[in-house]
Structure 1
Amino acid sequence: MSKTRPAPLPTDTLVGGYRIVRVLASGGFGLVYLARDASGSPVAIKEYLPTALCTRAPGERLPQVRPDRQALYRLGLRGFFEEARALAQIAHPAVVGVQHFFHANDTVYLVMEYLQGASLQDYIVVARERQLRHVLQEGTIRALFDEVLRGLRIVHQHGLLHLDIKPANILITDDDRAVLIDFGAARQALQHEGDYVRPMYTPGFAAPEMYQRGPQGTLGPWTDLYAIGACLYSCMVGYPPPDAPTRQQRERLLGPLARWQGAYSDNLREAVRWCMMLDPASRPQSVYALQRELAREDEDEADPPAPPPWWARWRIRADRPPSHAGAPTSTATPTV
């Protein structure tokens, strides 16, 4: 494994007609830059550059890949490119918009809309620190995930899985959109094909089948829906649920949910339990199935719907999450 992170492209580098301004974020599988197009408009550009498989010297453009890692590098590159091609066909306000993608410098670049805002994780932390009775109100949770599920349903209809849904990858933008960012196809392809790459799933949000190496036949929409259930859990409890291996040894999910009886409707708590079943076949098999279940809300038990947009109320407070640029790159905690 490379001990030194690949150097970013220098400021003012031109790549594919875009001028690099600065690095927005870096992760185990790439870099995200703020750049400007020919008209001067800002865009975010994601560069495939896995630290485990390649290096790049300062001032250089081409990554250096060891011969024994070329096959894995190409495999991840292909997954990244296919992810870009699939995302480019999706136009939905709840899915990060891909404007362009291209090969250059022996890698692939993904040009996305430049988003600014705060992640759902930021909002959960603020609510938790304020010690609210409910971390997020039920009406707030439903309004948010109604939007997210609409976007995820379109993603699945295009034959793409997200594979890294978590509060940190749901961005609440400054123009009041909830947007899914940082898709994980390239990471997942590499994880299942070699030992050079440490698994990049996020404990608590990764379904049990994501911990398995080898054929990916068990991955499907139900894998993303496990993560949706974990996000709902986090919005209610304030913390991630126990990770899947821990739950397989000893179930620790129902206790915290039971303590929230009366604070959240039975319908919402049952939806979380259903999404987070350890057996993939026991979960909802499609986003539509979960949407239909959530539509069965008992209005007598649920909180009143939050006035849209629900996050706008926090933006006028001094303790709101700080706005930052959306940077769709992996920040998942590796688990060995």
Structure 2
Amino acid sequence: MAFELDIGFTSLAGTKDVNEDFAAAMLPEAGQAAMGAIAAIADGVSTGGHGREAAQTTVTSLVRDYFGTPETWDTTVALDRIIAAQNSWLAALNHRRHPACGLTTLTALVLRGHGYSLAHVGDTRAYLVRGDEVTQLTHDHAMDHPDLRSALLRAVGAEERLVVDYSQGEMQVGDVFVLVSDGVHRVLPAKKFGVLPEETAQAASQALVDAALAAGSRDNATAMVVRVLGVDDAGLQDLERGAQQLPVPPKLKVGDAIDGYTVTALVADNGINLLYQVRDATTRKLHALKALHPSRAHDAQERAMLAHEAWLAARMRTSRARENLVALHETPQASAFYLVYDWHAGETLQQLLDRRQPMGVAQVVSAATQVARALGRLHRQGVIHRDVKPANLHQGEDGVLRLLDLGVALSGREPEAARLLHAGTPSYMNPEQWNEPDPEPPDAQSDLFALGVTLYQLLARGKLPYGEVLPYQAGRYWRDPVPPSRHNPQVPIWLDHIALKAVSRDKKQRFETAEEFLLALERGASRPLTAPPPTPLVRRDPTALWKIALAVSVLLNVLLVYWLLFLPK
């Protein structure tokens, strides 16, 4: 079912001269459907005379800036970042104006996937009407006294550090969310929100405001009504729930069918996941079906990690990063837990290396450029791939190089097991991840180091800069790598410098961002990089001084023994 809402709001000054309430809502633009929709209401504090401006700027900045946050962020994280920035700006203004005069309440609602997220400060309110039941979703931050209810305990702009209440819940078709200012909820009982007119959300909001004014409200009266007519694609929590409930398919053989897909080949079996090539019986198109190995069927963490991969792939589908990723194919009413991706003819760069079919320098630079561009887009979404290597780079027959396998990627919302996993291929992991006893967690530069190792390997005809590291070993970085041109004379000097910079033992010498890496590749020989300096012996081996001192001591003792025994007295 498509995401569909009916939103209406009404705001009147009532008996006051100025309306200091403000409300707004925004639906996603084309390509941003996964972000959902946002609605917000604010009630400016009249003391000081700038409450209207505070309410208007707070709501406007929130609903506009929300769609500028990465899709991979949790909704509450996105809201918190924006509200904190707005609060800091208002608080700074208020500190220069005594007394503080730009304060406002705020209640914001985001509907996304199958759930809702709520942010709340002050005494505006949010209600959920589900069937005949009316539930208040917010708690007033005001004095608990009949004569002091207008005295707020929290407000946007009051303090440099703002504590915001966040809550999340499941959304259903037919739900009605009602956001109101205190000019409405102080004079209307909660049950009134459960008997709204059924024509439109706009008619319902108008009816609430009219009822509040008729009941004697002496404040600004604002009401926003959001009716849920259709829900969007599943969010992460929805996918995790399905992952735990659906069965894992048995190991399939060629010719077996599942939900309209017929298995044509078993592509890979790593003991954790199974990857099949399947054909859609309706469209006759080929797809890749990924499922947990039956031996992992009872592993809740593996299920959660595969659900996270599905969520991440779906989020990337609406971003520019999708150009170099394999698209996730939706399978409604699946009878088991699995993922279906589009199938692309071609081969991985590892398969090219295994066939000892060398790539030309121009071809290698083109591949590295595409990967750097794809990583830049992932990193701007807050995603760390963690397993960049030739085996996960697929050169399609359509000329597009695609980055495979988001199974161990980090997004900030991955399961704890995935975050704690020392994931990746050892030969492509940066030195910082091997530091003992405190290894550094992977970051964007980890992906760039892995890309550098891949670039070096493709240029050096399969040679790795620091040699192959087996899974049960630790990385060895005791020497600086030799230039790729030592293994392949066709590699130009400028490309030597890029590869050596990318795989430098010193993190400070490497590329900091994918954009910097990409710029170096695009400039090429026109603006070459300088050769990275060699790593001093002491930095390569912190015990070098002790080893040298020991060697000198041994030599002196040998000479002393020789002198005592053999030289004439």
Q: TM-score range by the shorter chain?
A: 0.5 to 0.7
| Alignment partners' CA distance in 1, 2:372 and 2:275 | 26
User: What are the Cα deviations for residues 84-143 of structure 1, in whole angstroms up to 9, with x where unaligned?
Assistant: 333333464432222336795663x22211112122123234446xxxxxx443222212
1:57-72 equivalence runs, <5 A = 63=297, 65=298, 69-70=299-300, 72=301
Q: Does residue 99 in structure 1 map to residue 329 in structure 2?
A: yes
Q: Does residue 269 in structure 1 map to residue 496 in structure 2?
A: yes
1:246-261 equivalence runs, <5 A = 246-248=475-477, 250-253=478-481, 255-257=482-484, 259=486
Equivalent position of 1:169 in the other structure: 392
Q: Is the 8 A contact 2:427 2:468 kept in 1?
A: yes
Equivalent position of 2:287 in the other structure: 43
- Gaps of at least 5 residues in structure 2 are 1-248, 529-569
2:521 is aligned, of 283, 294, 305, to 294
Question: CA 1:23–1:226 in structure 2 vs 1: closer, same or farther (change >3 Å)?
Answer: same
1:163-202 equivalence runs, <5 A = 163-185=386-408, 190=417, 192-193=419-420, 201-202=424-425
Equivalent position of 1:309 in the other structure: none
Q: Does residue 119 in structure 1 map to residue 348 in structure 2?
A: yes
Secondary structure of 2:277 counterpart: strand
The number of equivalent residue pairs is: 267
Equivalent position of 2:377 in the other structure: 154
TM-score norm. by structure 1 comes to: 0.66
| Alignment partners' CA distance in 1, 2:307 and 2:286 | 27
| Alignment partners' CA distance in 2, 1:300 and 1:76 | 43
Q: Does residue 222 in structure 1 map to residue 450 in structure 2?
A: no
Secondary structure of 1:171 counterpart: strand
Q: 138-147 vs 72-81, which deviates more?
A: 72-81
| Alignment partners' CA distance in 1, 2:405 and 2:394 | 10
Q: CA deviation at 1:191?
A: 5.7
| Alignment partners' CA distance in 1, 2:433 and 2:332 | 29
Secondary structure of 2:369 counterpart: helix
Question: CA 1:27–1:210 in structure 2 vs 1: closer, same or farther (change >3 Å)?
Answer: farther
Identity %: 23
TM-score norm. by structure 2 comes to: 0.41
- Gaps of at least 5 residues in structure 1 are 1-5, 57-62, 129-134, 302-336
Q: Which has the higher contact order (CA 8 A, sep 6+)?
A: 1
User: What are the Cα deviations for residues 38-66 of structure 1, in whole angstroms up to 9, with x where unaligned?
Assistant: 3222111212x1x5xx617xxxxxx3x1x
Q: 256-265 vs 90-99, which deviates more?
A: 256-265
Equivalent position of 2:272 in the other structure: 29
| Alignment partners' CA distance in 1, 2:285 and 2:371 | 27
Question: CA 1:153–1:99 in structure 2 vs 1: closer, same or farther (change >3 Å)?
Answer: farther
Secondary structure of 1:146 counterpart: helix
Secondary structure of 1:32 counterpart: strand
1:140 is aligned, of 350, 363, 370, to 363
Q: Is the 8 A contact 1:13 1:20 kept in 2?
A: yes
Q: Is the 8 A contact 1:222 1:285 kept in 2?
A: yes
Equivalent position of 1:8 in the other structure: 251
Q: CA deviation at 1:224?
A: 0.9
Q: Is the 8 A contact 2:305 2:407 kept in 1?
A: no
Q: CA deviation at 1:212?
A: 7.3
| Alignment partners' CA distance in 2, 1:158 and 1:216 | 24
| Alignment partners' CA distance in 2, 1:152 and 1:29 | 26
Q: Does residue 55 in structure 1 map to residue 283 in structure 2?
A: no
Matched to 1:84, the amino acid is A
Matched to 1:95, the amino acid is L
